[in-house]
Structure 1
Amino acid sequence: MSEPNIVLTRIDNRLVHGQVGVVWTSSVGANLLLVANDETANDQLQQELMAATAETSGVGIRFWTIDKTISTIHKASPRQHIFLVIRNAQDARRLVEGGVPVKNLNLGNMHFSKGKVQVTKYTYMDDQDKADLKYCADHGVNVYVQEVPEDKKQPLEEVI
């Protein structure tokens, strides 16, 4: 099996929306959005809404569980420029543990919820998030915060 051409992996609680589906997709030169999220892989309504955004950008879109992503992504064609979108740090860690070759992990929106503290304007983390992201970094992943492509990248070690 060959290594998939993952142009970027992004954590965004919202998954695919205008900013991800249009701005980021064109910025990284993706032609396929791969949403790796267990809940969304089984939610037809969410898929339809996200597919409409992908269609606007003229790219393909797939909805896979984390396990399917781990077992299938290595079968990707070299011509697929994959933008991998996930919901949280736990899914990022599962992908890295499962052997998905994540090189760059962009932290986009990680919304506030109970127990999370603000580390940047749009990024909230708890101790588990920090541990999972540190695990990814310790396994060769370049982890950084960058809301939009025009923003300066903030390395993980600067924000936690």
Structure 2
Amino acid sequence: MKIVLARIDDRFIHGQVLTRWIKIHQADRIIIVSDDVAQDEMRKTLILSVAPSNVKASAVSISKMAKAFHSPRYQDTTAMLLFENPQDIVSLVEAGVPIDIVNVGGMRFENNRKQITKSVSVTEKDVAAFERLAELGVKLELRQLPSDSSEDFIQTLRNVTK
């Protein structure tokens, strides 16, 4: 499997993904990688219902994604991976799936989160997971749209959370 984009966006499949990202990073599949979504049939159905008709979409657990990545069955598949949080990416990378770069797109603001940018708010667990990804050699880029300039997310995060 070739991962053409790994993106954190807690809205998963929405206008930006449908109109911009999928055109830049053409993929055979959009895969939501989340234990929570994979176990919630209602949520999974709602999220997948907006996927473009010309791209296969699925929602799978972290362990199932790790198995699929290493399966010869999917060796010629190109995939866009969408995540809700950085902890899931840490788990996937530690399960042996090589992810070189993660696009940090959107993590909504809630009371227990610190706002880092206008589109990204994090918990302490998120900060620890982003730091772990950096330790693992994963580049973290902040970019809402493909046309935006790429910013070093880990540096932005460290500047705000000091």
Normalising TM by the smaller chain, what interval? Answer: 0.7 to 0.9
RMSD: 1.7
Aligned to 2:160: none
Letter in 2 for 1:52: S
Structure 1 122/151 Cα, relative in aligned 2: closer, same or farther at 3 Å?
Answer: same
The alignment of Structure 1 onto Structure 2 pairs a total of residues equal to 156
For residue 71 of structure 1, the aligned residue among 57, 67, 71 is 67
| Residue pair 2:68, 2:74 contacting (<8 A) in 1 also | no
Amino acid at match of 2:151: Q
Offset at 1:36?
0.8
Query: How far did residue 135 of structure 1 move?
Result: 0.9
SS for the counterpart of 1:53 is coil
- Say yes or no: does 1:5 pair with 2:2: yes
Stretches of 4+ aligned residues off by more than 4 angstroms: none
Per the TM alignment, residue 46 of structure 1 is displaced from its structure 2 partner at its CA by: 2.8
* Cα distance in 2 for residues equivalent to 1:99 and 1:153: 26
| Residue 45 to residue 101, structure 1, CA distance change in 2 (3 Å) | same
Q: Encode CA deviations 1:25-57: one digit per residue, 9 max, x unaligned.
A: 12111121011111211233333333332234x
Consecutive unaligned residues in structure 1, runs of 5 or more: none
How high is the TM-score relative to the length of structure 1? Answer: 0.88
Unmatched segments (≥5 aa) in structure 2: 158-162
Residue aligning to 2:97: 100
2:64 counterpart letter in structure 1: K
CA displacement at 1:142 relative to structure 2 = 1.2
Say whether the 8 Å CA contact 1:22–1:53 is kept in structure 2. Answer: no
Q: TM-score, normalised by structure 2?
A: 0.87
Residue from 14, 18, 23 that aligns with 2:15:
18
